Structure 1
Amino acid sequence: MARDPVCRMTVEPAKAAAQSTYKGQTYYFCAVGCKQAFDREPEKYLGDATRATGR
């Protein structure tokens, strides 16, 4: 399982509504809106990249 870095919801990567790659790391999202917010300001949501990806 991964964690949506925007809303912090647990997301199963195979069923994620969307995904983005940033600095070589893939992030999974519960909804397209979360992906769009992340894509606009990724650093805002990545205080700790390990926490954000659930790894």
Structure 2
Amino acid sequence: MHKEIDPVCGMEVNSSTAKYKTLYKGKAYYFCSPACKEAFEKNPEYYLKHGPQGMPHH
């Protein structure tokens, strides 16, 4: 089991069972929910620079 950190909310995500993931600049990022995935895809550099910000607001 490999733990990854959701770059948007900071939750631990199991990369082998994660339903939500995206590739950015050749690296895979894993998410706990479609909302986190969508937030990251809208502004990936923000989350990579500032770190997890908590659950995104709808």
TM-score between both structures, scaled by the size of structure 1:
0.81
Instruction: Say how many residue pairs are matched.
Output: 50
Aligned alpha-carbon RMSD (Å): 1.8
Deviates more, 1:9-18 or 1:26-35: 9-18
Letter in 2 for 1:15: T
Give aligned-pair identity as a percent.
44
Instruction: Tell me the CA shift for residue 17 of structure 1.
Output: 2.9
Is there any run of 5+ residues in structure 1 with no aligned partner, and where? none
Deviations 1:8-48 (A, max 9, x none): 00000122130000000000000010000000000010027
Q: Which has the larger radius of gyration?
A: 2
Is there any run of 5+ residues in structure 2 with no aligned partner, and where? 53-58
TM-score between both structures, scaled by the size of structure 2:
0.77
Please give the alpha-carbon distance, in whole angstroms, between the structure 2 residues aligned to 1:23 and 1:46: 12
Q: Which has the higher helix share?
A: 1
Please give the alpha-carbon distance, in whole angstroms, between the structure 1 residues aligned to 2:37 and 2:11: 13
Query: In structure 1, what is the equivalent of residue 26 of structure 2?
Result: 24
The structure 1 segments of at least 4 consecutive aligned residues displaced by more than 4 Å after TM superposition are none
